[in-house]
Amino acid sequence: MPSRRALIRLLGLAGLAVVLAAPSVAMAASVNEQREKVRTQSAEVLAHLYKTTPGARGVVEQAAGYATFHRFGIKIGVAGGGLGRGLAVDRTGKETFMKFVEVSAGLGLGIKSYDLVFVFDTEQAMSDFINKGWEYGGQATAAAKASDSGRAYSGAHSVSPDVRLYQITERGLSADISVAGTRYLKDEDLNAR
């Protein structure tokens, strides 16, 4: 039979193990909660797009994949920025959690909130977006094509080869693209299994 001192030490070690394990369990729950939040946000972004531009549903469903982001940025004085998360989904339904970081310069004051939906025409374009990251350096006003190879891309802007972007504000589909100084990359924290 173990001595009283050995029993206390054993109970102390067991207690320490529970204390040390608790943050990892809480962290796992937190990661799962964050993933679910991103999935919910993605569904809301798509619903917003489909309500604003009903023809976009067919474009997204026929694409190699898509990525959704809800962006919230702030600018005060000469600096501003934002960060957040998004979700990329390929045509098989495989999810990749993404994040973005935005830095902006120039005089201004305000808060901007809008949804982005990237649509990938090819698997390679989507793979590059997910695995190499993607950066957009400037703002642009682009005319959206009414159709492209028989598919309705009304309201989408071509932002790089085989990548189109829908930007939706509270007032509807945006005529310009405002993703200056933004980098999109894989979210290693949420993709860790």
Q: How far apart are CA 159 and CA 165, in angstroms?
A: 7
For 118-156, what is each residue's pLDDT tens digit? 999 999 999 999 998 876 554 433 333 333 443 445 566
> Mind giving me the DSSP string for 27-89?
HHHHHHHHHHHHHHHHHHHHHHHHHH-TTHHHHHHHSSEEEEEEEEEEEEEEEEEEEEEEEEE
pLDDT band at 4; cut points 50, 70, 90: low
pLDDT value at 168 more than 50: yes
Average pLDDT for 77-94: 83
Contact 117, 53 (CB under 8 A): no
The candidate with the shortest Cα–Cα distance to 70, out of 35, 140, 117, 139, is: 117
pTM of the predicted protein model: 0.70
Q: Which sequence spans correspond to the domains of the chain?
A: 48-191
For 100-122, what is each residue's pLDDT tens digit? 887 665 555 566 678 889 999 99
